[in-house]
Amino acid sequence: MSQYRTFTAQDAVAWAQQFGGLDNPSELVEAQEVGDGNLNLVFKIFDTDGVSRLIVKQALPYVRCVGESWPLTLDRARLEAQTLVEHYRHAPAHTVKILHYDPLLAAMVMEDLSDHRIWRGELIKGVHYPQAAAQLGEYLAQTLFHTSDFYLHPHDKKAQVAQFINPQMCEITEDLFFNDPYQRHERNNYPQALEDDVAALRQDPALKIAVASLKHRFFSHAEALLHGDIHSGSIFVADGSLKAIDAEFGYFGPIGFDIGTAIGNLLLNYCGLPGQLGIRDAAAAREQRLLDIQTLWFTFAERFQTLAREKTRDAALSEPGYAAAFLQKVWTDAIGFCGTELIRRSVGLSHVTDIDTIADTEMRHACLRHAISLGKALVVIAPRIDNVEELVARVRQYS
């Protein structure tokens, strides 16, 4: 910690020159701070022609959107870098490349993705990237399989679980997903007009028991090295390309959490589209979101089972049919976690622009209510939703 200092733009340029791996580092001359997230400084590093060449990211010792009153461990930068390095080993086409990281400065240099766009923004505008859902499914299958007991030797798995223990960032997830929305808490953030809807969450015993079960699984099921926050704002897309970034919440947890978070953000977009595009124009985009969800799950499940047939090392886990049975459990977990994502993004601290940027107040409130009611239903009835077709039917039921 004694070597830590908060980077200025000039510091970021000097660091990129030293560790960016360019043949002529003196070409790097300028940095622009572009971070708009809750936790970090992010600099684009430009060359003498004004072209963005690299990204420098540094963790701050507190939650940026709250301030120094909410301190955070700087070790999350190491965990993020190592998670992305590990994921890049297994899914290099779909993971941002880390070029260098320094745990003492809580900083890393990574490839620049200026030729990509943040997927959330494209979804809000109704821009469709045909490959994105399948590539996300591929990323999740490769990273989650290769860091699971299906692939790793038990000794390696246990060592990696210890390496990626991430208690402070996990505590944030535990609070924001499973605690805050179901009690009165100062971090909660929702319009007063939704007070009755939010109060109903606090007063629903069946919902709260289901959420408690999900939280218990988040605590105790160290199934694979998760990204931990794989939403459409932490994914970059371009024609034919998808890259995951921002893995500071990485840890070994239940595979269904990453799947559910990804599906949940596609459903948040589904809920917000009428307010973004208008009810008539949103219809086709909403149908595409449902197709994206199906493609994501089918790609993930098919690829995971193929990898299990070809690469499972454990004699018991390689039993024919077990991988499919395991994925059925993952699916049930994913639907529950998906529901908690819908709820916490509607009433908790951190919202999504899919809904928050809707200009019409009444429409914005209607979209929030839709997300809350859908999320609540999915949490409670997750064990009764056996497949992705039934999920789509339930989504239509609550539209």
Determine contact, residues 55/32, Cβ cutoff 8 Å: no
Those residues with Cβ within 8 angstroms of residue 341's Cβ, 6 or more apart along the chain or in another chain? 177, 231, 260, 261, 264, 265, 268, 375
Tokens of 167: 């208690």
Q: What is the DSSP string of 322-374?
A: HHHHHHHHHHHHHHHHHHHHHHHHHHSS---HHHHT-SSHHHHHHHHHHHHHH
Query: What is the C-alpha to C-alpha distance for residues 51 and 49, in angstroms, rounded to an integer?
Result: 6
CA atoms within 13 A on the CB side of 209: 5
Phi/psi at 254 (nearest 5 deg)? -70, 130
The answer on whether 57 is annotated among ligand-binding residues is yes
289 annotated ligand-binding residue: no
Is 40 marked as binding a ligand? yes
**Is 44 known to sit in a ligand binding site?**
no
- Rounded to 10°, the helix 279-311/322-347 angle is 150
The answer to the question of whether 64 is labelled as a binding residue is no
Helix (H) or strand (E) run with residue 163 in it: helix 154-163
Distances (CA, A) of 35 to 43, 70, 129, 174, 246: 7, 19, 24, 25, 12
| Terminal C-alpha separation, the chain | 50
> Using an 8 Å Cβ cutoff, are 114 and 47 in contact?
no
Is 113 marked as a binding-site residue?
A: yes
Is 97 labelled as part of a ligand binding site?
no
Check whether 344 is labelled as a binding-site residue. yes
Residues tagged in the binding site annotation for ATP = 40, 57, 111-113, 246-248
Residues tagged in the binding site annotation for substrate = 229, 344
Residues tagged in the binding site annotation = 40, 57, 111-113, 229, 246-248, 344
